[in-house]
Structure 1
């Protein structure tokens, strides 16, 4: 699968962006007095997740991929991976070329005593051999320096998957 450039597809918020007044949104009562600004509304996040899912499926479809394994990086990536998994499944069922989407987990940490460490500790939560000759999509919560993601990709590639991409 060709690597796709998404830089032009990104929504970029300028440093001076102040968000939306929380008064424009319905908030749970206990939070009302603590939240004054909404930076990114939930609807925008859901819409971007749907667009991302359609783009991922289109890219895999062009390569004739029939099934994809999401590897969720615990714990931080769980919510995003879960939402992405559900959205990929939803849109996969509506396409001409159904792509089976499965999910599995790796635990990874670069934190030592609440501060960022230099080594990435990776703990598989499954038999990694199942990814041999499979198409893998690593789903991480947030990428800052990319060090952890590079280590995760190197770790997954030891099991010789057909392809490895990240979201």
Structure 2
């Protein structure tokens, strides 16, 4: 099967969107401590770029790895925690940073799990939102781009561990 990429958002467009999100987050949190949690692996580039643009000097970060896709293009529906957080969340303003909100299953599971750890606040920031595919209701406070129901690669997002390093976002089309 042959793969064809269609650029959806350029490196420049992504950079502008990340700056815009950082500005809004800075306004909301001012100088209050903010704990970013990156959902690995797909959100790592987004979170790093976002963190670099936040002016808040009280930003900390942690990483969590979950799996619901494996090598497939469809979520299995089973959310597995591959790497849990290194630090407790009690009393922290937490911002979950995700690459894409698709069915919402992963974030629904994570917000319940992390909410039980008593953070002061728990919000979600995603670079990409695919509302057409939503199966679970999740409240996403900070959204980058709304995208159609296509499989996306680039800027940290992969297909079978490939294409993560692309500096842009593309739809991947499979042709015979």
- TM-score band (shorter)? 0.5 to 0.7
Structure 2 stretches lacking a partner, 5+ long: 126-176
2:4 equivalent to 1:46? no
2:21 equivalent to 1:55? no
Structure having the larger proportion of residues in helix: 1
TM-score, length basis structure 2: 0.62
**RMSD across aligned C-alpha pairs, in angstroms?**
2.1
SS across alignment from 2:29:
helix
- Paired residues, what number? 121
Structure having the larger proportion of residues in strand: 2
User: What is aligned with 2:144?
Assistant: none
Which structure would you say has the larger Rg? 1
Shift in Å, 1:145: 1.2
Shift in Å, 1:137: 0.2
Alpha-carbon spacing, 1:158–1:123, altered in 2? closer, same or farther (3 Å):
farther
Distance in structure 2 (CA, Å) of the matches to 1:85 and 1:109: 24
TM-score, length basis structure 1: 0.65
The structure, 1 or 2, with the larger RCO (C-alpha pairs under 8 Å, 6+ apart) is 2
Shift in Å, 1:112: 4.9
Structure 1 stretches lacking a partner, 5+ long: 1-33, 93-97
